[in-house]
Amino acid sequence: MSDDNNTKKVHGTVAEYTSVDTLLDACRRIRDAGYTKTDAFTPFPVHGIDAALGIKPTKLPWIALAGGLTGLTIALMMQIWMNGINYPYIISGKPYISLPAFMPVAFELTILLASFGTFFGMWALNGLPKFSNPIFTDPRFDRATDDRFFLYIDAKDQSYDQAGAEKLLADTGTEYINTVVEDDSPTQIPKFLITTLITVIALSFIPALILARMRVTTSSKPRFHIFPDMDFSPARDAQQTTTLFADNRAMRPDVPGTIARGDMEDDLDFLTGIKMESLALQQINKERQLVALYPQGEDEEKPSEAAAEQGDGPEKSVMDTTPWVETNPVELTSQFVRQGQAQFNIYCSTCHGRDGRGNGLVHQRAQQIMASSWIPPASMHQDTLYSDQYPDGKLFNTISNGIRKMPGYAGQIKVRDRWAIVAYVRALQQSQNASLDFVPDSQQETIKTRKAEVEKMLKEQAEAEKKKEQERATKA
């Protein structure tokens, strides 16, 4: 302790120990003497030092808990808002608000915010970041990371007086006591650090500025592509041409002799929805072409392009000479129709709507954004689509190969399931045109009385309207 020290501001007193046991004894002594603003510095964690110094249990767990709960709440609210309210969208046939699916995100965000709470809470509680501490001025303090233990009493402690603290510490088996004074090393931050920092901050504004500028200006130059090969994939799309093959087709037909799994079991009529024998009588070439395609797998080649393109028109096309399969080749059972319903709801209802009126989610969305190239999906409930004008086989073909905007579903839906959808569509159509005979006898009476009631009510309303009209007329 030089005289020089006496003129500087005193921050506290530090003592050095050579073993854990003497340190802990000293800790207990100063704790019992009533000091609270104290700290111990050790090269390794020492069990029980909190109790010896009288440090209260930390508040950190509560911060972590609060962080975790915040994360949980945010995650659940965010997902419920996004998927259930703002943009309700069915994924995998689950409900909009399907908690099990939200759990992983909720779990991760809980953990994330709990760790943030712990990490930054610890910083806050410890007053970090702290770039310097007066105790570093002590010439022997470096050994705190090596083989010495230090005990420090802060001058801000209420019961601190320098002489008393030194006397108390001298009694605890220490050989070195020092007064911790203000650090008088220069506090100036080196110029080059400041320059670098300012430069980095200035540079970091550039991308943001570019973005901001781009938001408000237009440009006639083509877009800048950072990853051109990702924006313009060299892979060919369906229906495109290529120079790679002699026939210039990018889509390759199956290798001759390829047999799709399960397709050997079914006949061609079942696979195409066309009566092949009748077709052979009409168009032998077309038939040959089709037979060559099956059962090598259902190619996207449309068996009857003319029919598929025009078949859905307002009047029954005279061009359609294809001998479609008239009735569903699968035996109709309630289980089969229900299977069709499930498939319809999965694949078709997004556009055609669950009731088949052509008002599915995709269509609604297309209307919302006013998609110019969108062709509205057909309603199932129109005369031209009833089985007398639109045979089951043709409907099957449309599902398989698509029509207008609708893509073919041969790749997604199994053959049998496509027939099941056909059966269900027929059931849907009937459900909108059912006569009273379809209703079980036991319920016919109730429906009749209900009908009579409604008719009566309508009649009364109409009469009341008429009366009002007349009154108004007379008044006028």
Partner 1 sequence: MSKHAPAIKPADDPAFQLPAKLSALSVPLCAGGLLVLIGGWALGTFGVSNEFGMSAYLTAFIYCLTIALGATFFVLIQHLCRAGWSVVVRRVAELIMIMLVPLAFLFIPILATLWIGEGTIYKWDDPGFAEHHHLSPETWDNKLMYLNPEFFTVRSAVYLLIWVGLAVYFFRSSVRQDETGEIKATERMQKWSAPALMLLSLSMSFAMFDWVMTLAPMWFSTMFGVYMFAGGILAAHCAIAAGTFVLQKTGALRDEVTVEHYHDLGKYIFGFVFFWAYIGFSQYLLIWYANIPEETVWLFDRQIGVWAWVSLALVFFHWILPFISTMSRHVRRRPPLVFGWAVYILILHYVDIYWCVMPELFTGADGAMQAVGGAIGIFASILMAVGMATLMLGMMLRVAGQTRVAASRDPRFRESLAFENI
User: What angle in degrees, to the nearest 10, is found between the helix axes of 162-170 and 20-32?
Assistant: 140
One of 7, 32, 47, 231 touching partner 1 (CB under 8 A): 47
Q: Find, among 393, 398, 237, 278, the residue nearest to 330 by Cα.
A: 393
59 vs 63: CA distance, rounded Å: 7
Contact between 261 and partner 1 (CB under 8 A)? no
Contact between 113 and partner 1 (CB under 8 A)? no
Considering only the stretches 88-96, 145-153, 163-171, 189-197, report the one whose residues sit in contact with partner 1 under the rule CB under 8 A. Answer: 88-96
Q: Which is nearer to partner 1, 48 or 407 (CB)?
A: 48
Contact between 307 and partner 1 (CB under 8 A)? no
Q: Which of 388-408 are b and which e, b meaning 16 or more Cβ less than 10 Å from the residue's Cβ?
A: eebbbbbbbbbbbbbbeebeb
* Site size for partner 1 (CB under 8 A): 21
148 vs 406: CA distance, rounded Å: 79
Contact between 434 and partner 1 (CB under 8 A)? no
Per-residue tokens: 102: 């939200």
One of 49, 260, 332, 361 touching partner 1 (CB under 8 A): 49
Query: Residue 259 Cβ, how far from partner 1 at the closest point, in Å?
Result: 20
Query: Residue 129 Cβ, how far from partner 1 at the closest point, in Å?
Result: 24
Query: Residue 28 Cβ, how far from partner 1 at the closest point, in Å?
Result: 9
Contact between 21 and partner 1 (CB under 8 A)? yes
Query: Residue 150 Cβ, how far from partner 1 at the closest point, in Å?
Result: 17
One of 6, 9, 59, 65 touching partner 1 (CB under 8 A): 65
Query: Residue 133 Cβ, how far from partner 1 at the closest point, in Å?
Result: 23
363, exposed or middle or buried, with CB in 10 Å at 0-12, 13-18, 19+? buried
Contact between 314 and partner 1 (CB under 8 A)? no
For the chain, the residue count is 476
Q: Which is nearer to partner 1, 55 or 362 (CB)?
A: 55
Q: For residue 443, what are the contacts with CB-CB under 8 A and spacing of at least 6?
A: none
Exposure on the CB side of residue 79, measured as CA atoms within 13 A: 19
63 vs 43: CA distance, rounded Å: 28
Q: Find, among 397, 429, 433, 408, the residue nearest to 312 by Cα.
A: 397
Contact between 66 and partner 1 (CB under 8 A)? no
One of 82, 103, 128, 457 touching partner 1 (CB under 8 A): 103
Considering only the stretches 100-108, 126-134, 148-156, 158-166, report the one whose residues sit in contact with partner 1 under the rule CB under 8 A. Answer: 100-108
Q: Find, among 326, 434, 310, the residue nearest to 388 by Cα.
A: 326
One of 34, 48, 88, 313 touching partner 1 (CB under 8 A): 48
Considering only the stretches 93-101, 119-127, 243-251, 448-456, report the one whose residues sit in contact with partner 1 under the rule CB under 8 A. Answer: 93-101
Contact between 45 and partner 1 (CB under 8 A)? yes
Q: Which helix (H) or strand (E) holds 423?
A: helix 415-432
Site residues, partner 1 (CB under 8 A): 20-21, 24, 45-52, 57, 61, 65, 92-94, 100-101, 103-104
